Structure 1
Amino acid sequence: MHLDVHVYNDLGYVLHAQGFTDEAVAFLKEGETFIKKQEEQEECVLLVNQANMAWVYFHQGELKSQACLEEVGRLQQAFPTPEGSQMHPQLSAQKGWTLLKFDNSHKRRAIECFKMALTDAEKQLVLRRYGDYKFRNKPVTSEVIDVYMEVVQIPVASDHKDHCIKRLASIVRYGGHERCEEVCVFLLNLLCVSCRHVGELFLKKL
């Protein structure tokens, strides 16, 4: 039976927490074998697996925990945490799934973990779709404005950014929202100084 790679780690964690350490090790080893056989899997996926195995071995008093920690160190060097991130994307994604699976009260923390696991381009796409989903509900909420602003502030030029700028401009154009002036200032600040006068004239016509 082949399970999803994350399920092996989850089962290892659950079994260890329940005191079934031998069974936990067996699942983690099976997960390690599964990962190594999957050509499409990046080796960094082993980070979570090896860290979990080191933890279980440590609580068993096994010296093998040191070998697992050394492997974790090697993987961390081979796949360093991106600049500006507190955690490797693979670890962040696994943490997000774990929070969702084992504690529904931590949904917000899980979302933040998923966001850290995404590239800037992926983050733009996900946030744009979420913003558009919420945008359909009228009146437009402050949450939608915050989401669109976040997309625009991500330093990646894309259709998603352009789309969100247009959405924000439409909020200014139709008026009625208490944050219209704030959104207008936000859009103007996106423009270079030489273009700002043109932008001001444009927004006045909206």
Structure 2
Amino acid sequence: MKHLYPIFLVLLALLTVPCQTTAQDLGNKVSEANLNNPDDVLLMAPPRNINQKAEGSPYIDDTFSPAQVNNLEKTSLMRYNAAQDLMEVMQDDGSAMVLSKAIRYRVALKDGSGKVYENHVFLEDGEKKNGYFIPLGSVGKDKVLYKKEFIKFVKGQLAKSSLEQDIPPRFERTKDRFYVNEGANGDLVELPTSKNVFIKAFPEKNLKSFFKKHRPDLKSPEGLKKVLEHYYGQ
């Protein structure tokens, strides 16, 4: 693969740094030009599995699918680990590495699904993180609606008596969430599912009459796209 730089880092925290990470942050393993070149890919050793004995799967799709990263001509076999918010890349020896989030990626699956993943900085509980999102289309000038897939890890429980059975740990697919690049520096912010909270979050236009007339479903991408296009004037 063109321009592959395997980087073995111990600190998992580096996986969630913003895209403005500098070469020094990566231990001077790469030059500043590498971080700004859309043809470059940085690979890191994957973190330890959450729990190999857990039921279910941390992946949206367990299968490694052919995918194109940024402007690279050659495709790679990849899959999305939603439980840990990582994009895995299969190596020639069958092992997996993960994309370092020090670079902005566009991962286009070539499995016929048309699915595209992009990593962006987003806000969660007031904290900045870096994760993978699926762009769903423009909703205004320089504004895009995104979907984020979630799988959570649920710890197991030991039986409290001989009449009960142990509950094994498991991975559980949870509801998708939707975001728009409304934050500072284009950071993604989660869209509320409550009408009243949504109206307060977007105060620059009176949305009450729009909600009353159109009754958009804030839990569906179609409903969100309708109200955001109205808000941003598209």
Higher strand share: 2
Higher helix share: 1
Please give the TM-score of this superposition, normalised by the length of structure 2. Answer: 0.25
